[in-house]
Structure 1
Amino acid sequence: PNNQSSDDEPPEVELKELPPYLEYAFLGKNEKWPVIIAKDLNVNKKSALINVLKSQKKAIAWKLIDIRDPEFCSHKILLKEDYSPKVQSQRRVNPKIHDVIKKEVEKLLDAGLIYPISDSPWVSPIHCVPKKGGMTVIKNDENELVPTRLVTGWRVCVDYRKLNEATRKDHFPL
């Protein structure tokens, strides 16, 4: 079955505010496929870039299912000889965060981007950090206005610091 995103179905994404040096451009017949490009490109370069992106649109993984072969983008980890594997214990998380982590792991498993390994000598802890969604102002206990970050969701991260210490250095740290 063809699970590839069709030209009729643009990905469902929330267009977020970009830094001042970036802007959105849109591809496809209905111009509903968002890409982020540099804002300071002159008209000719911007047009040339958008034409290349339009002509190579099928090469872009718009959704997880669009990644044709995860082997293509898999890491090869070369360990130093004098390091032994580290098993770091997982920290307890509250049920809400546990559900966020579970959904993210299931999404990656379903897409074939990760797979279970029951006997791995390495175990790295998972952290869930808030996605920052801008600022708002609220009143504190003393009735003062205080700027506060809005949390718009959660980002699941794996703490690979111990693994990075044991890895021969290359140009692509985890």
Structure 2
Amino acid sequence: MSIFTDLIEDFMEIFMDDFSVYGSSFSEKCHFMVRDGIVLRHKISEKGIGVDKAKVEVMMSLQPPTTVKTIRSFLGHAGFYRRFIKDFSKIVRPLTRLLCKEIKFNFDSKSLAAFHTIKGALVSAPVVQPLD
């Protein structure tokens, strides 16, 4: 048996056409009959699929990275969307160079421009827009 199956058996009992979810609080259980919710980073409601505005606001409020660790974190999150951003690797080259051990950390104007370009791409279509 897989770990996933073992986990389900600890919290859920499945019958032919029904199931029960166990938990010590309501927040641990599934919610049914809700009007909207976030699924795969998109807001799903009776109006259809939309963008999670909170996610866009967080991306817009990002400040430029100041350390190697924050650059690595930013590139890790942005890299998830690299297939949606044309020339991603070319754009982030000034940032990735700062990750090299031989390079002195100097967040210059090229690095700042790269950060703002990627940040702008992350909040524009098709990255945060739902598929049709």
Range into which the TM-score falls when normalised by the shorter chain: under 0.3
* More strand by percentage: 1
TM-score (norm 2): 0.24
More contact order relative to length (CA 8 Å, sep ≥ 6): 2
